[in-house]
C-alpha cells in the first residue's frame, strides 16, 4: 500500500492536536510528518518533505495559509505532484462563500468529525486519480487567484518615491521605476540606471501604486507594465519578462502568469 504523507500547519496547539487526533481516527493510513505553528516553517517543511496532503491554517504567524500556498505554488518543482491543500479556517459564512466559489477544500474551526470525514473522503478519491493529481498545481493556482485578497484601494497614488542614498534623499518619479522588488524589510526600487532601497514592505507599497501601470508578477516583484518589452517562456514553460533598458529578466510566478496570456 502506498504511504500517504501529510503536514499540518496550525498555530493553536489544542486545535492542532485535535486535528491530528481526528485524522488518526478517520484516516489511520495517513502519516502526519509534522505539525508547524507558522507559515514560514510550513513552506520550508512542505518543500523539504513534499507531502501528499497539506492542512494550512488561514491565519498563522509569519505567513498566512494563503500566502504559504502562494509561495509553494511559485516554488514547487514542476516534476513533483503538488500536495492536495486543505485550508483550516474560522471564517464566517460570508467569507466561506469565497472558498465555495473557488471550489477550495476547507474545514471550519472547531473541526468536527462529520465535516472532516467528508474532506477525507474527497482527498482519498482525488489521490486515487492520477490525472487529477497531476493537475493539482493548476487547480490551486486557480483557487489562489480567487482567494488571495487584492491590494486595498488607496485614494491618491504615488507620483514620487523618496529614497535615501547615503546622506542624500533621492526623489524618484514613479513613472521612471521599472520594478519594485521585496528585499527583507525593504523594497528595492529599480529604474533604468539605478537601484535604491526604501524602508517599507511591498505589501504596504502596493496599494499606493496605480494598478493599471504596476502589476504584481511574483510575491516579491511588482513591475511597471509600460517598461515590459516582451514575455518569454523557457523550455520548461516558465514565464519571464524582458524589460526595456535592463539586462535582467523578471520571473513571473504561476499565480500571475495569466496576466500575460495572448489577447
Query: What pLDDT score was predicted for residue 41?
Result: 97
As a whole number, mean pLDDT of residues 218-247 equals 93
Hey, what CATH class is 4-147 in?
A: alpha beta
Query: What pLDDT score was predicted for residue 159?
Result: 94
Evaluate the omega torsion of the peptide bond into residue 157 and state whether it is cis, within 30 degrees of 0: no
Query: What pLDDT score was predicted for residue 47?
Result: 97
pLDDT, tens only, 173-214? 999 999 999 988 899 999 999 999 999 999 899 999 999 999
Distances (CA, A) of 232 to 56, 192, 196, 218, 223: 33, 20, 27, 15, 15
Give 93 or 37, the one with higher predicted confidence: 37
CATH of 160-260, one of 3.40.50.2020, 2.170.120.12, 2.40.50.1020, 3.40.50.150: 2.40.50.1020
Q: Which of 110, 118, 84 is nearest to 7 (CA)?
A: 84
pTM value is 0.80
Residues 6+ positions from 94 with CB-CB distance below 8 Å: none
Domain chopping of the chain, boundaries: 4-147, 160-260
- Model confidence at 29, in pLDDT bands (50, 70, 90)? very high
Mean pLDDT, the chain, whole residue set: 89
Distances (CA, A) of 44 to 11, 218, 249: 16, 18, 26
As a whole number, mean pLDDT of residues 91-104 equals 73
Phi first, then psi: give them for residue 67, nearest 5 degrees.
-65, -40
**Angstrom distance (rounded) from CA 54 to CA 227:** 38
**Angstrom distance (rounded) from CA 74 to CA 182:** 15
For residues 171 and 189, the answer to whether their CB atoms sit within 8 Å is: no
- Model confidence at 52, in pLDDT bands (50, 70, 90)? very high
pLDDT, tens only, 5-26? 999 999 999 999 999 999 999 9
pLDDT, tens only, 33-48? 999 999 999 999 999 9
Angle at 136 between CA 135 and CA 142, to 5 degrees: 95
- Model confidence at 86, in pLDDT bands (50, 70, 90)? very high
Query: What pLDDT score was predicted for residue 133?
Result: 63
Amino acid at each position: 500500500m502506498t504511504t500517504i504523507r501529510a503536514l499540518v500547519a496550525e498555530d493553536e496547539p489544542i486545535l492542532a492536536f485535535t486535528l491530528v487526533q481526528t485524522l488518526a481516527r478517520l484516516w489511520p493510513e495517513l502519516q502526519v510528518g509534522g505539525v508547524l505553528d507558522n507559515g514560514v516553517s510550513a513552506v520550508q517543511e512542505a518543500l523539504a518533505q513534499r507531502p501528499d496532503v497539506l492542512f494550512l491554517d488561514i491565519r498563522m504567524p509569519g505567513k498566512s495559509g494563503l500566502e504559504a500556498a502562494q509561495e509553494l505554488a511559485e516554488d514547487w518543482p514542476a516534476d513533483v505532484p503538488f500536495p492536495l491543500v486543505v485550508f483550516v479556517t474560522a471564517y464566517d459564512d460570508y467569507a466561506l462563500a469565497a472558498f465555495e466559489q473557488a471550489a477550495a477544500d476547507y474545514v471550519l474551526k472547531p473541526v468536527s468529525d462529520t465535516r472532516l470525514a467528508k474532506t477525507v473522503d474527497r482527498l482519498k478519491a482525488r489521490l486515487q486519480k492520477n490525472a487529477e493529481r497531476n493537475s493539482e498545481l493548476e487547480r490551486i493556482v486557480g483557487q489562489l487567484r480567487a482567494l488571495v485578497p487584492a491590494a486595498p484601494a488607496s485614494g491618491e497614488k504615488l507620483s514620487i518615491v523618496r529614497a535615501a542614498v547615503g546622506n542624500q534623499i533621492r526623489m524618484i518619479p514613479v513613472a521612471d521605476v521599472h520594478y519594485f522588488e521585496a528585499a527583507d524589510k525593504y523594497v528595492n526600487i529599480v529604474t533604468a540606471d539605478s537601484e535604491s532601497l526604501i524602508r517599507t514592505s511591498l505589501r504596504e507599497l502596493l496599494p499606493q501604486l496605480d494598478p493599471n501601470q504596476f502589476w504584481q508578477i511574483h510575491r516579491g516583484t511588482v513591475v511597471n507594465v509600460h517598461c515590459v518589452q516582451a514575455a518569454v517562456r523557457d523550455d520548461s514553460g516558465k514565464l519571464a519578462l524582458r524589460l526595456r533598458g535592463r539586462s535582467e529578466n523578471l520571473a513571473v510566478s504561476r499565480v500571475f502568469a495569466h496576466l500575460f496570456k495572448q489577447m
